[in-house]
């Protein structure tokens, strides 16, 4: 079995995979203490016969710590260092593209074909564009939902810290309702607008895939522009890379 690991700025996701199917998952905070990380890994290895681990990371310090734990148990590879994502990268400086963006793009091309746009709702919201030829063209990055909410709380005197949840109304009747409306309806409109602009530049109608931690909450705010929801896209991309 393969242990696929997605290290983001906020959380670390673990997926045990067998023949392309996710058998089980676990998630912890990226800044979790070493003891907690070891406990999660030990629980996974106790429950499953893991033969290999592959890490996709945008946090070098966290990937190094996790590799130190895993390499004592199974062969462990890090994408970008040990495994190159086989997609033509058209960024001016290809090294600037996060490996998670390339892995998601690669997985989406393998599953859904191209051209396409991958919208990843994580700490940042990213739009990744793949051409009809299957080339990674680049995209756009904006602050994510939680990051925006925390910025409002930290950078203003009177706005409160809020729980991230879908709003009930477009016109908020309280400060919390107003912030939630602004975040969800605002980002929903932003996503739809970006999809239209990118499609115009591509001069075609690409498929659009949404993934990331806030997918479940956001999906109704971007429909009907996004019909393909795949919260496990990076894990699937890692699995495809395991056979290279």
Domain end residue (candidates: 54, 83, 112): 83
Do 202 and 148 lie in a common domain?
yes
Do 105 and 224 lie in a common domain?
yes
How would you class 126 by CB atoms within 10 Å of its CB: exposed for 0-12, middle for 13-18, buried for 19 or more? Answer: buried
The predicted structure's pLDDT at residue 217: 92
Domain end residue (candidates: 27, 49, 83): 83
The predicted structure's pLDDT at residue 91: 97
Domain CATH number, residue 33: 3.30.420.40
Do 79 and 100 lie in a common domain?
no
> Which residues are marked as active site?
100
Do 78 and 98 lie in a common domain?
no
**Does residue 89 lie in a domain region?**
no
The strand order across the sheet containing 21-29 reads 21-29, 11-18, 2-7, 52-57, 76-78
**Does residue 88 lie in a domain region?**
no
The predicted structure's pLDDT at residue 129: 98
The predicted structure's pLDDT at residue 227: 85
Count of domains in the chain? 2
Do 231 and 178 lie in a common domain?
yes
Do 104 and 63 lie in a common domain?
no
Among 95, 103, 89, 187, which Cα is nearest to 138's? 89
DSSP state at residue 79: B
Residue 58 CA to residue 101 CA, distance in Å, equals 10
- Mind listing the pLDDT tens digit of every residue in the chain (244 residues)? 999 999 999 999 999 999 999 999 999 999 999 999 999 999 999 999 999 999 999 999 999 999 999 999 999 999 999 999 999 999 999 999 999 999 999 999 999 999 999 999 999 999 999 999 999 999 999 999 999 999 999 999 999 999 999 999 999 999 999 999 999 999 999 999 999 999 999 999 999 999 999 999 999 999 888 889 999 999 999 999 999 8
Do 71 and 167 lie in a common domain?
no
Domain encompassing residue 159: 94-239
Do 119 and 221 lie in a common domain?
yes
Residue 44 CA to residue 19 CA, distance in Å, equals 18
pTM for the full predicted model: 0.95
Do 106 and 226 lie in a common domain?
yes
**Does residue 56 lie in a domain region?**
yes
**Does residue 224 lie in a domain region?**
yes
């Amino acid at each position: 079995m393969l242990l696929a690991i997605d290290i983001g700025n906020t959380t670390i996701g673990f997926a045990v995979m067998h023949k392309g199917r996710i058998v089980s998952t676990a998630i912890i905070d990226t800044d979790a203490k070493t003891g907690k990380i070891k406990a999660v890994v030990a629980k996974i290895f106790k429950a499953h016969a893991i033969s290999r681990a592959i890490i996709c990371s945008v946090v070098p310090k966290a990937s190094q710590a996790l590799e130190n734990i895993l390499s004592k148990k199974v062969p462990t590879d890090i994408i970008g260092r040990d495994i190159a994502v086989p997609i033509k990268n058209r960024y001016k400086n290809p090294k600037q593209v996060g490996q998670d963006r390339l892995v998601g793009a690669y997985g989406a091309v393998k599953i859904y074909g191209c051209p396409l746009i991958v919208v990843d709702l994580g700490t940042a919201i990213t739009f990744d564009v793949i051409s009809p030829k299957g080339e990674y063209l680049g995209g756009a990055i904006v602050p994510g939902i939680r990051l925006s909410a925390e910025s409002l709380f930290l950078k203003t005197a009177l706005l409160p810290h809020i729980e991230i949840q879908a709003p009930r109304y477009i016109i908020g009747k309280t400060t919390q309702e107003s912030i939630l409306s602004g975040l969800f309806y605002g980002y929903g409109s932003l996503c739809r607008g970006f999809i239209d602009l990118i499609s115009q530049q591509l001069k075609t109608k690409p498929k659009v895939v949404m993934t990331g931690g806030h997918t479940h909450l956001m999906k109704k705010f971007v429909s009907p522009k996004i019909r393909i929801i795949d919260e496990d896209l990076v894990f699937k991309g890692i699995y495809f890379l395991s056979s290279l």
